Amino acid sequence: MKTLQKFGLFFYFLLPLVKLAPPKQHSATFYDPGLATLEETIFKQSYEDIIFKEDYEDKPQDAVKNQESNDMLLFHENELQMQRDEEILSEGSTNLTDLATCLLCVCLSGSVYCEETDMESVPALPKETGYLYARFNKIKKLKVSDFAEIPTLKRIDLTGNMIQDIEDGTFAKLVLLEELSLADNRLAKLPALPPKLTSLKANNNFIKSRGIKANAFKKLTNLSFLDLGHNLLESVPLNLPESLRTLNLQV
């Protein structure tokens, strides 16, 4: 009995000297590829756990507050990273549009092939497109916005569509355009043409003589090929350039 009393007394005095262990930390490894590598993140988490344990042994309440502050800081850092990612996606929206066009068509070395796809309008073209082939579709109208951002175009082939209307200035910014084919459409008049044009095919339309302005070809000093066959012309167009080598006006 005396032995048990001595042991109980010893345990009573020893108990205050034992510190309670800090609460168990949940080991949740956070990994954000935009902020750090996986190895760096694991190292950072382990280091923070050690610091928390040491602080808790000295000042438990302050350690908990510091841990909560670190969590909040980490939350804000990741919130900012998400905002940056959204801004990057927004800036790359044009690229996404280009990608959509190239899924529908075939994009190859500056050339875009959109043939027999049943499209009803000119698609958004990738920047620096040099050659567009959109033959045998259902395009009914050409707009200024179709080519306004693609001044690099050198050849446009829209043969075999249903084009009836071309907005004024559609080809105005295409200073490098050399070849244009509007054959086999439903045009009643010719649009204003770019100055460096060397070849124009507008055969098999419904173009009448009054649908061609008197100075339509006057400034086309590089034009060497002109096909206006199988239209509704009543006379030879005026002011044809001396550079012409081939002219087709077959009825």
> Which residues fall within 8 angstroms of residue 185, CB to CB, at 6 or more apart?
158, 159, 160, 161, 162, 163, 164, 204, 205
- With a pLDDT cut of 70, the percent of the chain lying above it is 61
Task: Give the residue-averaged pLDDT of 153-179.
Answer: 97
Q: Does the pLDDT value for residue 64 go beyond 90? A: no
pLDDT given for residue 20 in this prediction: 45
Token look-up 């899924």 returns: 103
pLDDT given for residue 100 in this prediction: 80
Side-chain half-sphere exposure of 79, counting CA atoms within 13 A: 6
Instruction: Give the residue, 27 or 110, on which the prediction is more confident.
Output: 110
pLDDT given for residue 101 in this prediction: 87
Q: Does the pLDDT value for residue 66 go beyond 50? A: yes
Whether the model pTM is above 0.75: no
The answer to whether 158 and 181 have CB atoms below 8 angstroms apart is yes
Residues 103-156 pLDDT 10s = 999 999 999 999 999 999 999 999 999 999 999 999 999 999 999 999 999 999
Residues 187-226 pLDDT 10s = 999 999 999 999 999 999 999 999 999 999 999 999 999 9
